[in-house]
Amino acid sequence: MTFAPSMDDLMTGKDTPDPLKYAFEQKRGAHAGGPGRPPLAPEQAQQRLSSLLSAGVTSDKRRALYVHIPFCRVRCTFCSFFQYASSRKLVDQYFGFLLQEIERKGRTQYAQSAPFHAVYIGGGTPTDLSALQLTQLGQALRANFPLTSDCELTLEGRINKFDDAKFNGALEGGFNRFSFGVQSFNTQVRKAAKRLDDRESVMARLTELSQSGLAPIVIDLLFGLPHQSTSIWQQDLEDMLATNVSGVDLYQLIDLKGTPMLEQCEKGSAPPPADTATKSQMYRYGNDFMERHHFQRLSCCHWSQDNRERSLYNSMVKAGAEILPLGAGAGGNLGGFALMQPRDLERYQVSIEQQRWPIMVLLPKSETHLKSQLVGACDKGVISRRLLGGDLYEHARPLFAQWQQRGLAKVSDTAVAFTLAGRFWQVNLCNGLLSYLDTNPLSMEKSA
């Protein structure tokens, strides 16, 4: 009996003359992958996490630290992550509890049993910490956790009020990569999104930081924002180039649920964001711009201008690395479990005071290591035969053939390489592949 796999358009994409615009209705979320199993009960979660942290390394996965700083002075209109407005008193109080958590987790067998390859300070707005706190944070992490000699230590933040004192304080703490959420340089677009500085101020400061040569400077740009025409997007890319930053992420605006921007658009007080077809053309222009200026593509949405920028943490997360979370609202995974820490500051602080692990959710992950690796491979735009193994690669060939027929990939005996359209839709393709493997397990073909 011949094996006939079950497939649908959500796996294969639509057969259309313009796959970049129309292969799918819209991007299926920001990241690929499926939900986990039900979370553990609170006391069971405490016991299980204690057990995990008391044990040494149980896998060969690379490891990273994620530290969350849950404060912002202003909520950007496109952001669904806003937690607390920054105040000196609140930040200082939180910082003391964060240092306690760093010291306690750093003493665990799990933390000390193998080095960490990357550290990422995210938020929120981590650059709302004082210069001294940035130094102390970096020093605390380096003192309490074993880090590889080439560990990437990233400080995320905004350009506004990131002065030389903070830059030097962060460098003194050991941070060696800085990531700024510019989103757009255009002053009108920025003001509408509640960004604080105008185009000239942002460009001038980024240029200063880049010219210092003290660390790689990386920025995020969003395409599809209200007021952001195609010509403004093209100028955003020219402005990025003029600042001489080491790397750039090009992200499309998606999933505005729960954001002030969506409310403004629904009320008619702001123009709607770009539709998917328009964003696909903005992505095309961005990709062509990077190629024209000889940037190296590190993933489907990240480019490097020089070899100092590795985007290590981002690629590790996509490939299923173990992430040890620190701070209120931090998320991670270890030992086959996904962990989310309390977003509520009081709940987080009470946990630290009571010498309990701060846990909001601890749940068994549904993904296998292979699925995590597939997510990472799709993020880079290449699925190799070596990654899947010969049997599974051939098993998925019918799906790969459909992708090629639809202009989403080029298939060989050794790898599936996404086309420009495939890279734009990589999250959909990855979810389609995972769905294909769930719907058509390899055992089904062998029995046929």
349 vs 332: CA distance, rounded Å: 19
- Cα maximum dimension of the chain: 71
Task: Name which of 94-98, 104-108, 318-322 the model is least confident about.
Answer: 318-322
Enumerate the domain spans of the chain: 9-26+368-447, 42-318
pLDDT at 302: 98
Residue 27: which pLDDT band, with cuts at 50, 70 and 90? confident
Name the H helices within 213-304. 230-243, 260-267, 276-292
For residues 64 and 258, the model is more confident at 64
Name the H helices within 334-419. 345-353, 369-380, 385-388, 390-395, 397-405
pLDDT of 77-93, one tens digit each?
A: 888 777 888 899 999 99
pLDDT over 70 (residue 64): yes
Q: Quick check: 409 and 400 in contact, CB under 8 A?
A: yes
Average pLDDT over every residue of 250-270: 87
- Please give the sequence-ordered ranges of beta strands (E in DSSP) within 139-231, or none if there are none: 147-157, 177-183, 217-223
For residues 367 and 427, the model is more confident at 427
pLDDT over 60 (residue 311): yes
**9-26+368-447 shares its CATH topology with 42-318:** no
Amino acid (one-letter) located at 389: G
Which residue is listed with tokens 């409310």? 263
pLDDT of 398-431, one tens digit each?
A: 999 999 999 999 999 999 999 999 999 999 999 9
For residues 396 and 445, the model is more confident at 396
Residue 33: which pLDDT band, with cuts at 50, 70 and 90? low
**β-strand partners of 411:** 416
Helices 88-106, 345-353: inter-axial angle, 10-degree rounding: 40
pTM assigned to the model:
0.95
pLDDT over 90 (residue 31): no
- Classify residue 16 as exposed, middle or buried by CB count within 10 Å of its CB (0-12, 13-18, 19+): middle
134 vs 171: CA distance, rounded Å: 9
How large a percentage of the chain has pLDDT more than 70?
Answer: 96
DSSP output for 291-349: HHTTPEE-SSSEEESSTT---HHHHHHHTT-EEEEESTT-EEEETTEEEE--SSHHHHH
Integer distance in angstroms from the first to the last C-alpha of the chain? 5
Residue 368: which pLDDT band, with cuts at 50, 70 and 90? confident
Q: Quick check: 154 and 116 in contact, CB under 8 A?
A: no
pLDDT over 60 (residue 446): no
Average pLDDT over every residue of 66-74: 94
**Which residues neighbour 401 within 8 Å (Cβ) at sequence distance 6 or greater?**
411
Whether residue 124 is preceded by a cis peptide bond, meaning omega within 30 degrees of 0, is yes
Task: Name which of 35-39, 59-63, 231-235, 330-334 the model is least confident about.
Answer: 35-39
What length does the chain have?
448
pLDDT of 141-184, one tens digit each?
A: 999 999 999 999 999 999 999 999 999 999 999 999 999 999 99
Average pLDDT over every residue of 95-107: 99
pLDDT at 59: 79
pLDDT at 309: 98
**Which residues neighbour 414 within 8 Å (Cβ) at sequence distance 6 or greater?**
384, 385, 386
CATH code matching the domain that covers 42-318, chosen among 3.20.20.70, 3.30.1360.30, 3.20.20.150, 2.30.42.10? 3.20.20.70
What's the CATH code, domain 9-26+368-447? 1.10.10.920
pLDDT at 447: 53
Q: Residue 372 to residues 30, 95, 148, 352, 440: CA-CA distances in angstroms?
A: 15, 33, 23, 31, 18
